[in-house]
């Protein structure tokens, strides 16, 4: 079969990164080989994100930039098929093509297993276009092949969709209702990833810790139970999961953090605001004190546990005093990493039409103040790591020859000089310096039991 090329650009969250890999997997049997640039590609897929206005608009400007490449391919006697996948495709559907006629295929996050048929039909019939933004009853996971090798650190989607309906958020509309994959298919994919070289698996879901799935024994397993079982997979050295909702951290999950050593001491647990009134208006379903209790319980179970979070500033009606409460909360918890955003009104969400929309200038100013606080606690934590020895899983080559880059248990990027065969191993690294966003270290020894045996 003649090789054809596919270029996929990924926007948005880790789930989209996972979906991009799975799209490559479903296209491989058709002879599509992934390439790193769109010029000359036979198929270009934009795997889009609708979470904030800027993210969605970027897709249209990127489609505009594709036009000359699309034309150049046609001038050379070929054809570039253009597909828009992901959450913008789901939200906009056919409207997207009206604005951007070069788009041949529009497909939502739940239908990409049908990509091969769609591409085949578009190639077969002149002028044919496809749009599938349905939520099939039959989950796509039942139709996906096992993934290809993804390196030392792999993603595995175990849950998708969200039933929480935070008033600012598009995800429940773009990803649909919560769906939990059954235990058997999760474990099969996990074992396959480990056999293909994964040492670390990050379980993914929009609301990952709400996972409760069907087990082989006919019962419904809790998320904590799944983590305990996964930890038994031979060769798996690290386990993580994201993104969690504070409401779904139960006693069983806290206990798993106490009992499962390969469960890394780092949790991304979005809070969004430090004001109870705003949390209520956001429909987050918890108050600040509950969040702080959850953090305390996690730290009691696993004393080295560090937290990261997401924040939204300038939610409709947010007063200066309420914003101050967010600053206070950020200082009190001391997050070691955080993502903070200006509130972006999204069409169709309740918050978009709430009274008290905040001026952009105020949002800009609040965001800057919050980011100072968040950067301070991140920098303090990084500085405190100097002199410590920590296990680092080397995942990729660094910018300089002989350098490998990996992650600490608490997700900091760590650079160190190391021989290439240390790639994919967990090494003890002594931290010697702090960069702007990463740590620099010296390899102390190989802790990895597999390599040590060689
Ligand atoms: N499922 C996760 C994250 C969803 S999106 C959760 O429940 O937290 C990732 C982050 O984007 C959110 O945590 C939130 O901080 C931010 N976000 C979502 N909608 C937004 C909006 N309309 N404006 C600004 N930020 C938003
Ligand atoms: Fe969006 Fe809220 Fe669901 Fe997270 S929990 S995906 S923020 S609706
Ligand atoms: Fe964006 Fe969809 Fe993820 S809106 S954040 S790509 S779930």
Residues of the chain with pLDDT under 70: 1-2, 446-454
- Number of structural domains in the chain: 3
What integer pLDDT is reported at residue 435 of this predicted model? 87
Alpha helices (runs of H) in 302-359, residue ranges in sequence order = 320-333
Ligand 3 mean position to 211 CA, how many Å?
Answer: 18
Write b or e for each residue in 148-186: b if 16 or more Cβ atoms lie within 10 A of its Cβ, otherwise e: eebebbbbbbbbbbbebebbbbbbbbbbbebbbbbbebb
Q: Whose CA is nearest to atom 4 of ligand 1?
A: 206
Running DSSP on this structure, what letter comes out for residue 333?
A: H
Whether 105 and 59 share a structural domain: yes
Q: Crossing angle, helix 14-27 and helix 115-124, to 10 degrees?
A: 60
Ligand 2 mean position to 283 CA, how many Å?
Answer: 10
Distance CA 117, CA 120 (A): 5
Q: Could you tell me the residue range of the domain that residue 428 belongs to?
A: 389-452
Ligand 2 mean position to 161 CA, how many Å?
Answer: 9
Q: Is 282 exposed, middle or buried (0-12, 13-18, 19+ CB in 10 A)?
A: buried
> pTM of the entire structure?
0.96
Q: Whose CA is nearest to atom 1 of ligand 2?
A: 169
Q: Is 343 in the pocket of ligand 1 (CB under 6 A)?
A: yes
Evaluate whether 253 touches 226 at the Cβ level (below 8 Å): no
CATH number at residue 407: 2.40.50.140
Residue among 169, 269, 341, 352 to mutate when testing ligand 2 (max atoms within 8 A of CB): 169
Whether 201 and 167 share a structural domain: yes
Running DSSP on this structure, what letter comes out for residue 29?
A: G
Distance CA 73, CA 39 (A): 8
Whether 350 and 220 share a structural domain: yes
Q: Is 341 in the pocket of ligand 1 (CB under 6 A)?
A: yes
Q: Which sign, positive or negative, has the C-alpha torsion 342, 346, 350, 355?
A: positive
What integer pLDDT is reported at residue 452 of this predicted model? 42
Ligand 3 mean position to 114 CA, how many Å?
Answer: 20
Evaluate whether 209 touches 163 at the Cβ level (below 8 Å): no
Evaluate whether 276 touches 287 at the Cβ level (below 8 Å): yes
Distance CA 306, CA 313 (A): 23
Q: Is 315 in the pocket of ligand 1 (CB under 6 A)?
A: no
Whether 39 and 162 share a structural domain: no
Of 345, 368, 384, which residue is a domain's last?
A: 384
What is the residue-wise DSSP string for 43-67? EEEEEE--SSHHHHHHHHHHHHHHH
Whether 282 and 421 share a structural domain: no
What integer pLDDT is reported at residue 159 of this predicted model? 96
Whether 98 and 220 share a structural domain: no
Ligand 2 mean position to 286 CA, how many Å?
Answer: 13
Which residues have CB under 6 Å of ligand 2?
162, 164-166, 169, 171-172, 206-207, 245
Whether 211 and 341 share a structural domain: yes
């Amino acid at each position: 079969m003649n090789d054809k090329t596919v270029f996929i650009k990924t926007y948005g969250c880790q789930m989209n990164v996972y979906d991009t890999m799975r799209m490559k997997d479903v296209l491989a049997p058709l002879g599509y080989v992934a390439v790193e640039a769109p010029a000359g590609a036979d198929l270009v897929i934009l795997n889009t994100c609708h979470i904030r206005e800027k993210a969605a608009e970027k897709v249209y400007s990127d489609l505009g930039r594709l036009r000359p490449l699309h034309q150049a391919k046609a001038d050379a006697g070929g054809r570039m098929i253009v597909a828009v996948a992901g959450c913008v495709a789901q939200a906009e559907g056919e409207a997207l093509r009206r604005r951007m006629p070069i788009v041949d295929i529009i497909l939502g996050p739940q239908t990409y297993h049908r990509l091969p048929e769609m591409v085949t039909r578009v190639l077969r019939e002149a002028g044919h276009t496809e749009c599938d933004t349905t939520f099939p009853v039959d989950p796509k996971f039942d139709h996906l092949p096992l993934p290809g090798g993804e390196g030392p650190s792999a993603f595995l989607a175990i849950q998708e969709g969200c039933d929480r309906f935070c008033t600012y958020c598009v995800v429940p509309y773009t990803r649909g209702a919560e769906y939990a994959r059954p235990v058997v298919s999760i474990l099969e994919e996990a074992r396959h990833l480990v056999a293909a070289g994964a040492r670390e698996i990050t379980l993914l879901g929009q609301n990952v810790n709400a996972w409760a799935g069907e087990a082989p024994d006919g019962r419904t397993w809790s998320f904590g139970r799944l983590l305990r079982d996964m930890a038994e997979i031979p060769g798996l050295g690290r386990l993580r999961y994201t993104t969690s909702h504070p409401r779904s951290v139960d006693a069983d999950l806290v206990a798993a953090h106490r009992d499962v050593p390969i469960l890394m001491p780092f949790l991304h647990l979005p809070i969004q605001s430090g004001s109870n009134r705003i949390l209520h208006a956001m429909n987050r379903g918890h108050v600040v004190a509950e969040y702080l209790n959850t953090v305390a319980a996690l730290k009691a179970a696993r004393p080295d546990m560090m937290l990261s979070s997401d924040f939204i500033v300038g939610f409709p009606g947010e007063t200066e005093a309420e914003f101050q409460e967010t600053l206070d909360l950020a200082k009190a918890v001391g997050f070691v990493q955080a993502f903070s955003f200006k509130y972006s009104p999204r069409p169709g969400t309740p918050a978009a039409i709430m009274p008290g929309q905040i001026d952009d200038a105020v949002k800009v100013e609040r965001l800057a103040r919050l980011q100072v606080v968040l950067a301070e606690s991140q920098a303090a934590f990084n500085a405190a790591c100097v002199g410590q020895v920590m296990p680092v899983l080397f995942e990729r080559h660094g910018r300089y020859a002989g350098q490998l880059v990996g992650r600490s248990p608490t997700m900091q990027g760590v650079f160190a000089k190391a021989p290439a065969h240390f790639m994919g191993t967990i090494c003890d690294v002594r931290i010697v310096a702090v960069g702007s966003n990463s740590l620099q270290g010296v390899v102390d020894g190989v802790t990895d039991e597999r390599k040590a045996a060689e």
